[in-house]
Amino acid sequence: MEPIAKLTERVAIFVLLLGGIGMLMSMFLGVADIVGTQVLSIPVPGPREITESTMVLIVFGALAYTQVRRAHIRVELVYDRCGPRTRAAMDVATDIAAIAFYALMLWQATIEAQFSYQTGEATFGAVRFPLLPARLFLVIGVALMIIRLILDLITDLSRVRTGAPPPVTGPEITTPELRN
């Protein structure tokens, strides 16, 4: 299981970097459009359409990497007060619910990608930007998230049996006054 976990982490980092590139692209395009429209009176064609598609890249590019780090938002009011086995059981329930949610999303995203492929779907506006790349990236991002959730589910199920603490994913806080 460890080689698969390492591979998914590397792929998640690569996809995260693609999302970062998409964010930079959107940012520069937005600035160019504002400067072009407000200063030079020459608008840049198609920034809205391209930004819409890169939003999928940005959001779903970071999704699996955030799961690798186990950094998704959670309410820790009860979680922090429970023992390791109870925490692991809560994580198992969360993993199962998330897998079900993302499986439904993957199913619908696949249908949308097939539709985009068959029809040559594109955005409306000054520039007709094809939607298939964004739809495919959605499928890839969600599929990667499901794979990571399955790996985490396996880990969390073993934690329920052994009572092991949750894996540390970020830098440890070593200063005693910051630990509480």
- Give average pLDDT by consecutive 10-residue segment, the chain, 180 residues: 87 90 90 89 83 87 89 84 93 96 97 95 82 92 95 95 79 47
Q: What was the pLDDT predicted at 84?
A: 92
Packing angle of the helix pair 132-162, 2-38 (nearest 10 deg): 140
Q: What was the pLDDT predicted at 157?
A: 96
Q: What was the pLDDT predicted at 180?
A: 47
Q: Give the helix/strand (H/E) hosting 51.
A: helix 47-68
Judged by DSSP in three states, 160 sits in: helix
Long-range pairs for 43-46: beta carbons < 8 A, 24 or more residues apart: 45/126, 45/127, 46/125, 46/126, 46/127, 46/129
Q: What was the pLDDT predicted at 170?
A: 55
Judged by DSSP in three states, 32 sits in: helix
Q: Read off the tokens for 150.
A: 């399955």
pTM of the model: 0.84
CA distances to 43, 44, 125, 137 from 30, in Å: 10, 9, 16, 22
CA dihedral sign, ordered 68, 71, 77, 80: positive
Q: What was the pLDDT predicted at 44?
A: 84
**Cβ–Cβ under 8 Å, residues 167 and 154:** no
Q: In the chain, how many H helices and how many E strands?
A: 6, 0
